Chain A
Amino acid sequence: MKKVNYFLAALLGLSIQFAEAQVKKGSVLIKNATVLTVTNGTLENSDVLVQDGIIKKVGQNISAPNGVTTIDATGKFVMPGIIDAHSHLGLDVVNESSAPIVAEVRMKDVVNPYEVGLYRALAGGVTISHAMHGSANVIGGQNATLKHRYGSTDPADIIMQDAPRTIKFALGENPTRVHGRGNNIQPRTRMGVEAIIRNGFNEAIQYQKAWDTYNAASSKKGSTAMPPVHNERLQILSDILNDKIIIHCHSYRADEIYMLINVARDFGITKLVFQHTNEGFKVAPEIAEYTMGASVFADWWSYKFEVYYSTAYNAAILTENGALTSINSDDAELIRHLYHEAAKTQRYGGMTDEQALAMITINPAKQLGIADKVGSIEEGKDGDLVIFDGHPLSSYTVPQMTFVDGVKYFDIKEDADDQRIKVSPTQMVEPIMLYGGHESNCMQDTEHLFETTNSLFHTNY
């Protein structure tokens, strides 16, 4: 009897855990809006019905099922939740800078759901961000794709659990500065960067062979074969070689971009996205032909030498050459107005409304491997939506409401001043931060490697 009780208690415990792991799903009917579906054109005076977190219906004259809240969006614009393919929000740490390859570390182990920046991103219509490892290593850690379900204190709740695995790579100045100049080890040059990647992949091939040999031997009757020692780092590299993980590679110069394309082709890797990619426009045909495209800044340049020869027309050139292109933030401030960043592609290269909107919705969704679930307003996709008071590509537009899985997480009319969900009990006076124009976290936690933190200030992307 006692045993049964224990069993029941355990079962109860498990079921509670299971229930907790279920994130909130909501239902809502948005009426009479201009619906920017991104994949199926613009629908005037149309409605979007979300039920239990999923878009059930898009069309006209939809009536609200029982108990479903209706929002009158007459004169307003609805678009899919904005997706940022490069962010460091909601992370306790960003860089494990101790070696040129740290593929074994995972950002999902350091997700911080308390970060108020997540709310501020929601206030800018961003529902999903790609929380990336930093750029201190040639092969960095594995990233986490976050859904901005702000308010939950369980890190698991803000991780998009069904998103594919992705990993950070970094080329050029950052890894050579940290390892070559900071630690006096390879790589100090772009030659060294290539060598680190090729050596790592070849080691992973040998590791995989050892396991294959063991697995073949151990399946035989009476086998006395000993398994190889598990090596998580090499296992992850092996998974990359098997296209089980999407590479997201921090890169700037055309030569280094081209190098990684060649390496990927040599090793049969097809899942490759370039990040930043300021000189991507110079190798746009190659990026279009061999990769999953590039995720770029709208107009950032000149903050370091490798981005001096940039152009704000980068996104347009990449797009016109057929490369899948997204616009990202890499920045807690920029993420608040990605709709405006996307709009800049209209000034710099004359992108159409649909091309510009795709760069912050369906295109980043494709690059993150989640386009079957999010990135457009289509029946069956997640109810991640933003309502704007004007066209989202107008400089004067103001986001009004943001939904994740049909649950409203931001409403400008109900916005309380203080949105923190945790306040430090030991902090007597709240610190006042006077940020410079540009400050990202790409090189966070590597400060100790440099003479002055000031020198890091403008060179952290």
Chain B
Amino acid sequence: MKRLNKTFFAFLFALLPMMAMAQIDGEVIKPRAGKFLLKNATVVTITKGVLNNTSVLVEDGKIKEIGANISADGAEVIDCSGKFIYPGMIDGGTKLGLAEINSVPETVDYAEIGNFSPNMQALTAVNPNSVAIPVTRVSGVTTVLAVPTGGLFPGTAALINLNGYTPDQMYAGFKGIVMNFPSSGRRGRFDRRSDDDIKKANEKALKEANELWDNAKSYGSLVSNGAELDYYPEMEQMAKATTGELPLLIEVNTASDIQEAIKWVQGKGAKVIFTGVSEGWRVADEIAKAGIPVITGPVQALPTRDSDRYDAPYANAGKMAKAGVKVAIRTDDQENVRNLPFFAAFAAAYGMGKEEAWKAVTINPAEIFGLDDKYGSVEAGKVANLIIADGDPFETRTNVLHVFIDGYRMPLSNRQIRLYQEFLDRSPGLKMN
């Protein structure tokens, strides 16, 4: 009976493309675990080159085996001839799941009140059922960093896979404490503070950051020496950054701020990752010398200065990579994280090159998050986060045909696709019968 069920489902899934056009009323397609043989694909491993006519066996959520002649024993076979297998893409910085509609405050959960709240856990506020998650998934983005913001130490970011019904099921194994480094830049056209005001505010913020850091350090060492301190959840969390237990994600963008931040982290003993880094290209050598990895983006952005060359933001990731910085790309978006592959394409076209751009959305963020044993490439033993496409997923004309997350075969539908199916040929049309 069980086998019959399996056969039935295999048959059903073979019909999926057809059913996508004519869905049965009320039918729901769910993510499905199992043993899958992705047969005869061109496998773009990222770390081990491109393998032609190669099959990938997915079992127990992992990539079990990669090779030319793998036995299909008991596996559901997906013919991938002429198709490409890539690792799932990782977005190194988003608000995905933390907000549903940006202009409706009731749905916005990424910015808590206060300047010092490192204990705010983004993972808690991730809505696994956000409409934007399946919208993102179909583009081949399987993993994102959910990042809180607002204030000096706004909270703790968490890496999530885009599969699962609870934050814990989604959690992908990395957390980092976010710091918004005092910024000499303006937040946009409406930011009309004088240069002097900005400078004063920054000096004050940096002084505060130093005090908080020192206190957290003392707090940590007192606790580790057995001291019993008053309940202070902010300090308790912050102490983890001072010891390097949790990495420190420092959002920093202007060239002079980046230089300041490089100085600031020296001797702090923290595991530092820079994020944003819009003007990284101006001081790329210094970032490389400091050995600090970078998560940069959005790539499709305006230059930070009117006098800058028009393509400065497109070229930024490539220039930093060329200087020797380990670079990951982020969208910094909430509803359009699906554009990550296109951001990578722009970076590739404006100097980074395709290979490096692929790394910037796969193995590089995995390494930056200390999870390169699990994610970021198609290698046996890693988590089965995979995409199968009929071409280069960075191209808009390419179709992503299958997405696997944690070895689950994900349904490739979402509300935007369902609206397409309903309204492409509306009934009734212009006139009622």
Contact = CB atoms under 8 A, between A and B. Distances in A.
A428 B331 CA distance: 33
A437 B333 contact: yes
Interface in B380-433: 394-399, 415-417, 419-420, 423-426, 429-430
A346 B132 CA distance: 20
B306 to A, nearest CB: 5
A398 B350 contact: yes
B185 A303 contact: no
Contacts of B349: 395-398
B339 A302 contact: no
B278 A299 contact: no
Contacts of B415: 309, 311
A387 B237 CA distance: 54
A394 interface: yes
B394 A305 contact: no
Nearest to B397: A346
Contact of B416 (A310, A320, A396, A432): A310
B73 interface: no
Residue among B189, B306, B333 with most chain A CB within 10 A: B306
A369 B423 CA distance: 29
B308 A417 contact: yes
Contacts of A435: 188, 301-302
Interface residues of B, number: 67
Contacts of B279: 432
B185 A432 contact: yes
B232 interface: no
A102 interface: no
Nearest to B357: A396
Contacts of B394: 395-396
Contacts of B253: 432, 434
Chain A contact patch, size range: 35 or more
A431 B307 CA distance: 10
Interface stretch (A17-25, A216-224, A243-251, A333-341): A333-341
Contact of A313 (B190, B396, B420): B420
Interface string B330-365: 011111101101100110111000100000000000
B60 to A, nearest CB: 32
Given A344-B396, A429-B195, A434 B101 contact: no
Given A304-B101, A313-B416, A398-B349, A340 B342 contact: yes
A182 to B, nearest CB: 15
B185 A458 contact: no
Contacts of A456: 190
Given A302-B100, A313-B419, A395-B349, A439 B309 contact: no
Given A317-B420, A432-B304, A434-B253, A419 B310 contact: yes
A264 interface: no
A300 B416 CA distance: 12
A347 B310 contact: no
A332 B430 contact: no
Residue among B188, B308, B310, B398 with most chain A CB within 10 A: B310
A304 B426 contact: no
Interface in A344-388: 344, 346-349
Nearest to B348: A396
A397 B394 CA distance: 12
Given A347-B397, A395-B342, A447-B190, A420 B307 contact: yes
A436 B102 CA distance: 13
A285 interface: yes
A123 B311 contact: yes
Q: Which 8 pairs of residues, A with B, have the shortest CB-CB distance?
A: A395-B345, A313-B420, A302-B335, A459-B103, A458-B102, A285-B430, A311-B416, A304-B103
Interface of A: 116, 119-120, 123, 281-282, 284-286, 288-289, 299-305, 308-313, 316-317, 320-321, 332-334, 336-337, 340, 343-344, 346-349, 393-398, 415, 417-420, 428-437, 439, 444, 447, 453, 455-459
15 contacts: A281-B420, A284-B426, A302-B101, A302-B335, A304-B102, A304-B104, A309-B415, A313-B419, A313-B420, A313-B424, A317-B423, A349-B420, A431-B186, A432-B254, A436-B188
Interface of B: 100-104, 131-132, 183-190, 195, 253-254, 276, 278-279, 298, 300-311, 331-336, 338-339, 341-342, 345-346, 348-350, 354, 394-399, 415-417, 419-420, 423-426, 429-430
Given A305-B103, A333-B302, 7 more contacts: A300-B336, A302-B101, A346-B396, A431-B186, A432-B185, A434-B304, A457-B188
